[in-house]
Structure 1
Amino acid sequence: MSAMRLVIIALLSLTLISGCSSWRSDPTRDWSASQLYEEAKSALNRGSYDRAVELYETLEARFPFGRHAQQAQLEIAYAYYKAQEPEMAIAAIDRFLQINPRHPHVDYAYYLRGLTNFERDLSFINRWIPQDQSRRDAAPLRDAFEDFGNLVRNFPDSRYSQDARDRMMHLRNMLADHELYIADFYMRRGAWLAAAKRASYVIEHYDQSDAVPQALVIMVRAYRELDMNDLADDALRVLQLNFPEEAQRQRLSHLPQPHRSS
């Protein structure tokens, strides 16, 4: 027998011995599905998220067709969410929805997806220190709005639907403020047409948001600068009709008045 074959046989033997030793030393090797689930749940509740994920994955691997395995798929997602690993949480939620489209907790899966996207770009510091929400990346906020919308449309009587509606209102204001932040950026650089388009987008897509009055103000100013006086007059009339107090306040701040042709 060649020396090379002896080396290979020795390595294989060590691997098998190591594997058997590892299995014998695994304290969960004789656990039932319910015991694995309860231990994983306990780890989750005490904040040991990595351990919870490990136990949930072990449960799903050993007992893939039981009710505990289905619940484990969803609670793994929650563990990732609590561990601030949004990409892993989203992947776990999507997998759960794909495998269990009729599961009784599908509504919660959409809710958790919305929460995960809402907090997706928040750093540890920003979770505790107030920040200018208008400067956040809008993409995950739009995703969160869509997730909560899916929940409200498909499960209007869900226990999570009212909170989802409240969060959608908040998200609508945040997304509108984000558009105004960009519009202001353009205005400070003299890009009046781009600013007007951003403000118009707010009126068209976030008409119930608190940002509408300021969007109209931006449209008036931008269209005046572009000598598009008819559009400026239209925006100002809408502002005066629907938000007279804001129109009055802006007039005192020298907001240009409707153009009158001679």
Structure 2
Amino acid sequence: MRTVTAVTRTYRILRAGLLAACVAALAACSSDDDDRPAYVERPVEQIYAQAANELDQGEYRKAAQSFDEVERQHPYSTWATEAQLMAAYSYYQANQYEDAIATAQRFIDLHPGNPNVAYAYYLVGLCHYERISDVGRDQEMTRKSLEAFQEVVRRFPDSAYAPDARLKIDLARDHLAGKEMEIGRYYLTRGLYIAAINRFRTVIERYQTTTHVPEALHRLVEAYLSLGIEREAQTAAAVLGYNYPGSDWYEDSYALLTGRNLQPVEDKGSWISRAFRSVF
């Protein structure tokens, strides 16, 4: 599920600029290295170069710690700001998602006007997205990733990260709709029709652009027919046929209705009709 293109691109940009400065700074101070007395604190350039090397070698945990050390020892240097973001990236690569989120969020809080702040928002979303579980389990990470990527698109609609954020928003919404469908089917098979209808209604009203909508409409036909609410069943089938005329779900719904001498007929006053008019 991991996406590295945008993340890696930003890492390379940051690293290229900072390492160039690092090499220049080390060269400038190398002449008097032998005369410098030993002390615990190390030059910022040296720590940053070590961190970047560790990152290149795939030693992500060590790299994160070294980037953190840049900020700890030299909090007011120009290196500290970028090291903070690089630490977040390193934690992400090490699958230490909570540390990555905390570091990225601190970067956002301290440097809201930084040119790379969009990347920090995006990285927070990725850390949640990487931990999305299947629809049979809790969807907290799906909801958090959705919120984080929506924030990226809202704040930085023209950034390099917005296209991928929009894609992941769609995937997260589809995942959440899938969870509602799973619960709805469970209720439906056990004859808990009102509870099932409420779940399918959530899909129709909140996740109407997802792939689960045709099935949700069909399940509404099933549930309403089981309750004897024929008008709503006919409306669900009519809306399904109008919006998804070639789907297998419509064929199944049509067969259910005609088996009871009913036809798909839309009731314009139904909540189903109102929900679709608000989107299409």
- TM tier, smaller: 0.7 to 0.9
Equivalent positions of 1:199-210 (< 5 A) are 199-210=200-211
Tell me, yes or no, if the aligned pair for 1:63 and 1:69 is still in contact at 8 Å: yes
Alpha-carbon distance in 2 for matches of 1:250, 1:260: 13
Tell me, yes or no, if the aligned pair for 1:40 and 1:55 is still in contact at 8 Å: yes
Cα deviation, residue 230, structure 1: 2.1
Alpha-carbon distance in 2 for matches of 1:156, 1:178: 28
Structure 1, residues 34-80: CA drift from partner, whole Å, max 9, x if none? Answer: 22112112212222122112211211111101221111212222222
Q: Which residue pairs with 2:198 in the alignment?
A: 197
Structure 1, residues 205-241: CA drift from partner, whole Å, max 9, x if none? Answer: 1111111101101111111112222222221110111
What is the number of equivalent residue pairs in this alignment?
224
Equivalent positions of 1:1-262 (< 5 A) are 29=40, 31-121=42-132, 133-246=134-247, 247-251=249-253, 254-257=255-258
Tell me, yes or no, if the aligned pair for 1:230 and 1:259 is still in contact at 8 Å: no
SS of the residue 1:135 aligns to: coil
Alpha-carbon distance in 1 for matches of 2:193, 2:89: 45
Structure 1: gaps (5+ residues): 1-26, 123-132
Which structure has the bigger radius of gyration?
1
Q: Which residue pairs with 2:13 in the alignment?
A: none
The percent of aligned pairs where both chains have the same amino acid is 36
Alpha-carbon distance in 2 for matches of 1:227, 1:185: 20
Read off the aligned partner of 1:110 and give its amino acid letter: Y
Alpha-carbon distance in 2 for matches of 1:102, 1:89: 20
Aligned CA RMSD, in angstroms, stands at 2.2
Alpha-carbon distance in 2 for matches of 1:241, 1:165: 27
Structure 2: gaps (5+ residues): 1-37, 264-280
Read off the aligned partner of 1:245 and give its amino acid letter: G
Cα deviation, residue 121, structure 1: 4.7
Alpha-carbon distance in 1 for matches of 2:187, 2:55: 47
Q: Which residue pairs with 1:21 in the alignment?
A: none
Structure 1, residues 87-113: CA drift from partner, whole Å, max 9, x if none? Answer: 222222221111111111111011111
Q: Which residue pairs with 2:32 in the alignment?
A: none
Tell me, yes or no, if the aligned pair for 1:182 and 1:198 is still in contact at 8 Å: yes
Alpha-carbon distance in 1 for matches of 2:208, 2:111: 36
Alpha-carbon distance in 1 for matches of 2:232, 2:69: 64
Alpha-carbon distance in 2 for matches of 1:199, 1:120: 26
Alpha-carbon distance in 2 for matches of 1:236, 1:158: 42
Tell me, yes or no, if the aligned pair for 1:217 and 1:236 is still in contact at 8 Å: yes
